[in-house]
Amino acid sequence: MVAITLVLAVEPASAQSPSAEAIAVSARPITSFRNAAIGEQVGSLIFAGGLELTGAHPDFGGISGLAFRDAARFVMVTDQGRFLSGSLDLADGAPAGLSGVEIDVVRNSSGNPLPNKFSSDSEAIEVVVRNGGPDAVRVGFENLARIAEFDLLDGRPFGAAREIAIPQWLTDLRTNESIESVCIAPPASPIARSTLIIAEAHARTAGQWAATLLGNRDRGDLGLAMAPGLNPTDCAFLPNGDLLVLERGLAFLAFSMQIRRIPANEVRPDATLDGEIILSGSGSAVDNFEALGVRSLPDGQTRVTIVSDDNFNSFQRTLLLEFSFPD
């Protein structure tokens, strides 16, 4: 395959945040996954294409969470306490590059940049919809375990954090195995508008990764059935309320991944979440996949997007892969 590198133009930074910087991101197309070409089925999904992303900015990388505001515009967090925002562009239906990308610092409740790695390990992000549109984002942090909400201004996260109350057992986790996945149920879900949090590697019940729901009528703990050799790294709800969970494994210096689909009516307090494996992979096609997002395209197609965390290592990659559902 001939590698083509797209260098995307730097757009002026938003005036909303004095610390935001416009950055250029290069994108090399990925045209196959597990021997499936674009448009071919892999697992229970259709491979829609992908990108290998690189950026010259020293803080680009470490992407650990992804959410979409609409059909194109995204927000991400890195595990170094940075927001990334911009648009994911398509060409002939396949990912073509990122445009309008800005990077900004994540701030504490006083509006100051987070002071150290222990407090700035942001691992998950989700868009909060209010009054019919995206209003804020919720970010999950490990080490200093917490959930914080940030305003969206001009479509980009901005300003001081507002902490969201979580169960004490979750607050007490002071490790990098705590909050890894945060997602909010859509209107079609039986637990609409409830926030689901899944711990990466903490168990309160044998055979289950600990999880909890934040909601008015749906508040309570639950668990995710353990998959051998894998840990949950992100979650996202489909428009119909079904839940997707991204899981990642590492063995013999090689990464593996899978996505499970859990029916909407099974996501409730006291439940043990399990489900059908709709995608899996290992080997050279896979890296450290930590971010999962779902978006609806103008033609009604639902896209599932995963992004890998390169840990700022030269021997790892930032991969973005997209999939759709068969007709």
- pLDDT of residue 16 exceeding 80, the answer is no
| Stretch 92-119: mean pLDDT | 96
Distances (CA, A) of 243 to 201, 263, 268: 19, 6, 11
Write the pLDDT tens digit of every residue in 36-83: 999 999 999 999 999 999 999 999 999 999 999 999 999 999 999 999
Cβ distance 320 to 50 under 8 Å?
yes
Residue 193 has pLDDT above 80, yes or no: yes
Residue 151 confidence (pLDDT): 97
Q: Of 230, 234, 252, 253, give the one whose Cα is nearest residue 244.
A: 234
Higher-pLDDT residue of 190 and 216 is 190
Interval 153-172 mean pLDDT: 96
pLDDT beyond 80 at 88: yes
Residue 191 to residue 189: CA distance in whole angstroms: 5
Query: What amino acid is encoded at 297 in this protein?
Result: L
Structure tokens at 10: 């730097």
**Please, what's the b/e burial string for 3-25 (b: 16 or more CB within 10 A of its CB; e: otherwise)?**
eeebebeeeebbebbeebebbbb
Q: Judge residue 110's burial from the number of C-beta atoms within 10 Å of its C-beta, 0-12 exposed, 13-18 middle, 19 or more buried.
A: exposed
Q: Report the candidate in 182, 190, 239, 155 with the shortest Cα–Cα distance to residue 66.
A: 182
Question: Pick from 153, 120, 123: which is nearest to 136 by CA?
Answer: 153
In tens, the pLDDT along 245-271 reads 999 999 888 999 999 999 999 999 999
Topology of the domain covering 6-324: Tachylectin-2; Chain A (2.115.10)
Q: What percentage of the chain exceeds 90 in pLDDT?
A: 92
How many DSSP H helices and E strands does the chain contain? 1, 27
Q: What sign results for the dihedral spanned by CA atoms 274, 276, 279, 281?
A: positive
Q: Report helix, strand or coil for 265.
A: helix
Residue-wise pLDDT tens digits, 291-302: 999 999 999 999
44: left (phi over 0), alpha (psi -120 to 50) or beta: alpha
Whether 2 shows a pLDDT value over 60: the answer reads no
Strand, helix or coil for residue 285: helix
Q: Is the pLDDT of residue 15 over 80?
A: no
Cα separation, 262 vs 302, whole angstroms: 16
Average of per-residue pLDDT values in the chain: 94
Q: Which residues contact 251 (CB under 8 A, 6 or more apart)?
A: 229
**Spatial CB neighbours of 179, under 8 Å, sequence gap ≥ 6:** 123, 124, 140, 141, 142, 145, 146, 147, 170, 173, 197, 199, 200
Inform me whether the pLDDT recorded for 10 exceeds 90.
no
Cβ atoms of residues 207 and 183 within 8 Å: no
Domain ranges of the chain: 6-324
